[in-house]
Structure 1
């Protein structure tokens, strides 16, 4: 008689490929990610990164835009022909076209340099959770619906009467749940013309958004304030 009790195998940690030509930055990111429970691998140029992704896609790729041999956007474009695994862009460029192009090519999120390694770990965790969350992630995403063609938002099936600036601000926040945006980042990303808009106006619009969201669902804090930093959008289940 076999008295051996079967044991559940421990799942392997998610594997993160770091594509960064600045070795000091890559080393710090690797240390933080390993401490958070992930396995990591580092390559320093775009051609090597694409070959690695094509051979065996990692669970998530942290992909710098400015790379030798092949830039990050070209790597992203080619990688999306082989995998839908999450790719998170790292960029020192602040031009809107680079960010939008990266997202249109299939990036799951992006982080602007300089950044906190803790923020990178938090964003990696959030992106992996969304990509691996199955039905729970889909339910959380469906609680808020944004119709970009009509500039209309609904929360749990109830329409939200938003101004265009409020809609755009909510859109930017909701695209990256859990990510902390500074007021300066929100000004840059959510307002087409910032000449007549100040960071104080961002606070005012966030206050209005919170009030309108709370009128439909007062039990959940949809937009969280991070003291001295900025704001983040917090997902909640649809039910």
Structure 2
């Protein structure tokens, strides 16, 4: 499970962001200021930090530079200001993205998914999940003597889930990764693709299953015989 550190001196914002991240399947670490955040980092290293700019003591820019220089942790800055100068200062400090308050929770999740995807290691050409082999170069899915040539989006969804078996992928992260941040359709598209992938897998591989994690998203499970 991906860990995200949320740093904000506004307890309401801190709790609100934490609730949405937890619902999306992230493990949340919380701090009310920069000093607390550094303390958290002594025992746990997050995959990403969400940092408020306007904080007493160590401000968001200073904390961002420390996170970037000392721990190489990607940072998404939150601020009530939208001036170009603040954005420039944030990026110079090492932030990866910038979100102005107030913001939609869905946009926050999309931006988080985009940052994490940029930091992921390059994908292997061949993925193995149980009896299923996924070739990212030829776009073929094989199991035993059976071969599937799937529509591209179905293939991309399957490959994403198979890249980390048993890890839950939140719906927003799947949509952003496969369809892109600017996709204007709805989540029913993902539901339809998952249904079709399940039907295809059921015909060639009884040991591989896409499981729905209620309220969060999906994961690919391999059943051992």
TM-score bin, normalised by smaller chain: 0.5 to 0.7
Given candidates 64, 67, 90, the residue that maps to 2:52 is 64
Aligned to 2:79: 91
Q: Alpha carbons of 1:79 and 1:224: their partners in 2 closer, same or farther (altered >3 Å)?
A: closer
Aligned to 2:11: 23
Structure 2: distance between partners of 1:125 and 1:88 = 11
Structure 1: distance between partners of 2:88 and 2:109 = 23
Q: Say whether residues 1:102 and 2:90 are aligned partners.
A: yes
Deviation at 1:90, TM superposition (A): 0.5
Q: Say whether residues 1:50 and 2:30 are aligned partners.
A: no
Aligned to 1:237: none
Q: Say whether residues 1:124 and 2:112 are aligned partners.
A: yes
Aligned to 1:209: none
**In structure 2, the residue corresponding to 1:118 is in which secondary structure?**
helix
Q: Tell me the TM-score normalized by structure 2.
A: 0.53
Unpaired runs of 5+ residues, structure 1, are 1-12, 137-177, 179-220, 228-239
Deviation at 1:52, TM superposition (A): 2.6
**In structure 1, the residue corresponding to 2:69 is in which secondary structure?**
coil
Say whether the 8 Å CA contact 2:3–2:28 is kept in structure 1.
Answer: yes
Structure 2: distance between partners of 1:135 and 1:75 = 31
Deviations 1:106-130 (A, max 9, x none): 1111101110112111211121111
Residues matched between the structures, number: 134
Unpaired runs of 5+ residues, structure 2, are 125-175, 186-225
Structure 2: distance between partners of 1:119 and 1:100 = 21
Structure 2: distance between partners of 1:225 and 1:16 = 25
Q: Alpha carbons of 1:121 and 1:222: their partners in 2 closer, same or farther (altered >3 Å)?
A: closer
Deviation at 1:134, TM superposition (A): 2.0
CA RMSD of aligned residues (A): 2.6
Q: Tell me the TM-score normalized by structure 1.
A: 0.50
Structure 2: distance between partners of 1:119 and 1:88 = 12
Aligned to 1:143: none
Deviation at 1:30, TM superposition (A): 1.0
Structure 2: distance between partners of 1:96 and 1:27 = 28
Given candidates 14, 21, 26, the residue that maps to 1:38 is 26
Structure 1: distance between partners of 2:117 and 2:98 = 16
